[in-house]
Structure 1
Amino acid sequence: ATTLTLTAQAGTPYDLILMDIQMPVLDGIGATKRLRGMGYSAETLPIVALSANVYQNDIDACFAAGMQAHLAKPVRREALESAIATWARRHSGNVRAAPVPTTPPPPEPLPASLVARYAERRAALAATLRAFGPAAAADPQTIAALLSDVHKLAGTAGHFGDVQLGDKARETERMMIDATPGERIILAQALLSVIETSSQNVSS
């Protein structure tokens, strides 16, 4: 929403937008469609998707919305630098339409440090959910912090092979925003159950 507002007020203040796909209120697909509907074309404002969703239909949806490229999370530095060099107007000077891939790109091996960090964050969230009680469920700051952690998990779980967990985290984030304290506790326990029962073998 902030990007849309600033873009509308300042003309085209950006050379490139790195668009997170999983966002509360308005997701990356919706934000891209709005920007294109406001008249910002790929030639004036290229958009690159950042997403842990790497299935072909997810990639196709990004291109259909008007994005120029798709980077899988966790984003590799080399891939990010390449996207910036290719699509940022100041670097390329000539924005081209990106071809839609016919098959998902083969996954690259993940560094052991990233796998370990993901496992730590997943364990930390599980501990938070176990301690999530009535007081926490009614505290706005606690809810905001929890939603931030759940959002991060939703955006990365699929890339580590935890597809079911990523889907559950997205559902939890969406439903918990307007839920009552009692409903939040139920949602938290349901997410914890998936964390504890989903595959323990993180893809690397």
Structure 2
Amino acid sequence: MFASLGLPELLRAAQHDDEVFLPRLEPGWQGAALAVAGAALGEAWALLTKMGQASAAPTVAMAPEWAARLGPALGWLALAFIFAGLLIQLSTWRVRGGWRLRLDSGEFKPEGLPGQPVLLESTQGYALSCVAGDRFRSVAIDLRHEERGRVARIFQTPARTSMKNLRACSELTDVLAARLGVAREGMRV
């Protein structure tokens, strides 16, 4: 199942709906597979280039003539596969479970992720915190308790190089904290 980041949609849902699903997004495997195929083609290109060079040398046994012609084309094709794979890897995301939040009852329930459901019987001591994520250049929302520390990481998204995702995640944290009646901690953008 593929998805875009959809932070504006999540923000609208958090503002108006009683139930919000915060997905865990991960890169798809297709981009990596295409890049690996490109690397394999690159190896074939290197082999055919060597065979083509061998056919040009008079002292070495003759290699097929097609090797010299096919080598450069495979090199460019390999490079195209690698770049396409990288673009797909950076732009395609799939949902791998997530957390379902019932904002009216204060219930946090993991779906397809490890973790225990959390019910905020009293909002005393709980806070939502916008923090740096586990992965490079990512931002996350944690449910924290003043005595127990982090209870659950309920959302994480790539921050990339722009401030757009940081701002949206910070705003989502503000809205969720206000709707749940808990404190708001962490970075504000």
TM-score, normalized by the shorter chain, greater than 0.5: no
Q: Which structure shows the higher strand fraction?
A: 2
Question: Larger helix proportion, structure 1 or 2?
Answer: 1
Normalising by the residue count of structure 2, what TM-score does the alignment of the two structures yield? 0.26
TM-score of the superposition, structure 1-length normalised?
A: 0.25
- Structure with bigger RCO (C-alpha 8 Å, 6+ apart): 2
